[in-house]
């Protein structure tokens, strides 16, 4: 009974302390053209993984570990700094660290080893600071537009890149933030970790699966920009600027990248079976 009361108090304190941080994360998840729409799913996936391990967790030896207090102290320090500076990103990080510290302190090393990944997976629900996203998106846009410009010139369409604009003789293509590939990469990073954690692959194959998301996101966004530039030059800007074509191209690119991602996973599984 006392333990249940302690849990209720602890959950209440965490909810009260991190209420502004929860609101900040939800606002970023639900924002228009959000890079973190997957944030709603991350806690659900983590809870599902922990629920699946309930029998293993019940059999683990449970004892308090003083080291957990150090982790708790680190998380509390992060939260203290974030509360003074009003940095919600750091506050969200402190929440995950504190959760890990609570589990380690109250249940011990063995149980923590069983659930550390589902807890660490929560880091992926934390939106990066807008300044970081802007800087990364800008560099990725320039990279994608540079390659797309090279490809357009390679097929005989004279093209010139200025910033994230691609100029052809009869069209102008703006490589916007959604075409940078960052949104796709973040989604595939989460998907890769889900597939890797749920699979029976050896470690290096899991790393390959997780790392595959970045080149896939870049490649298919280059393909998207290239074909949008091609269509704009041949059929005019009215076609490529329509929501049906623009949004449809984004959906097709993401679907194509997803198919490639799944094929890579299956290929790695087949190699695993042949060797094993």
Number of structural domains found in the chain = 2
pTM of the model: 0.85
Mean pLDDT of 106-110: 86
Same domain? For 233 and 250 the reply is: yes
Edge-first strand listing for the sheet containing 160-162: 160-162, 165-168, 171-174
Q: What is the pLDDT of residues 257-274, one digit of tens each?
A: 888 888 888 888 887 444
Q: What was the pLDDT predicted at 70?
A: 92
- Any residues with CB less than 8 A from the CB of 70 and at least 6 apart, and which? 101
Q: What was the pLDDT predicted at 3?
A: 62
d(CA 168, CA 174): 11
Q: Residue 102 half-sphere exposure, CB side, CA atoms within 13 Å?
A: 15
Single out the residue in 127, 153, 168 at which a domain terminates: 127
Same domain? For 222 and 238 the reply is: yes
Q: Are 153 and 134 in contact (CB under 8 A)?
A: no
Same domain? For 171 and 260 the reply is: yes
Structure tokens, 249: 């191209």
**Residues of the domain holding 192:** 131-275
Same domain? For 160 and 216 the reply is: yes
Same domain? For 147 and 269 the reply is: yes
Q: What is the pLDDT of residues 164-204, one digit of tens each?
A: 888 888 888 888 777 777 888 888 888 889 888 887 778 88
Same domain? For 111 and 216 the reply is: no
Under DSSP, is residue 171 helix (H, G, I), strand (E, B) or coil?
strand
């Amino acid at each position: 009974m006392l333990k249940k009361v302690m849990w209720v108090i602890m959950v209440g304190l965490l909810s009260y302390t991190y209420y502004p941080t929860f609101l900040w994360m939800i606002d970023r998840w639900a924002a228009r053209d959000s890079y973190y729409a997957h944030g709603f799913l991350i806690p659900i996936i983590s809870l599902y993984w922990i629920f699946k391990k309930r029998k293993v967790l019940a059999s683990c030896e449970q004892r308090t570990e003083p080291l957990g207090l150090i982790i708790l102290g680190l998380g509390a320090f992060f939260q203290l700094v974030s509360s003074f500076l009003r940095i919600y990103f750091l506050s969200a990080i402190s929440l995950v660290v504190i959760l890990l510290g609570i589990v380690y302190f109250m249940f011990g090393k063995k149980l923590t080893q069983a659930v550390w990944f589902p807890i660490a997976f929560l880091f992926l629900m934390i939106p990066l600071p807008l300044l970081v996203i802007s800087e990364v998106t800008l560099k990725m846009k320039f990279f994608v537009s540079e390659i797309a410009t090279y490809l357009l010139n390679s097929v005989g369409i004279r093209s010139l890149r200025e910033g994230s604009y691609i100029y052809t003789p009869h069209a102008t293509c703006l490589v916007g933030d959604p075409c940078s590939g960052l949104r796709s990469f973040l989604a595939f990073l989460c998907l890769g970790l889900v597939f890797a954690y749920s699979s029976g692959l050896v470690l290096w194959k899991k790393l390959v699966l997780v790392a595959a998301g970045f080149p896939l996101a870049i490649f298919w966004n280059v393909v998207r920009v290239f074909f949008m530039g091609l269509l704009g030059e041949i059929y005019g800007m009215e076609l490529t600027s329509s929501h049906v074509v623009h949004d449809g191209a984004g959906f097709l690119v993401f679907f194509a990248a997803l198919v490639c991602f799944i094929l890579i996973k299956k290929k790695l599984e087949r190699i695993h079976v042949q060797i094993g």
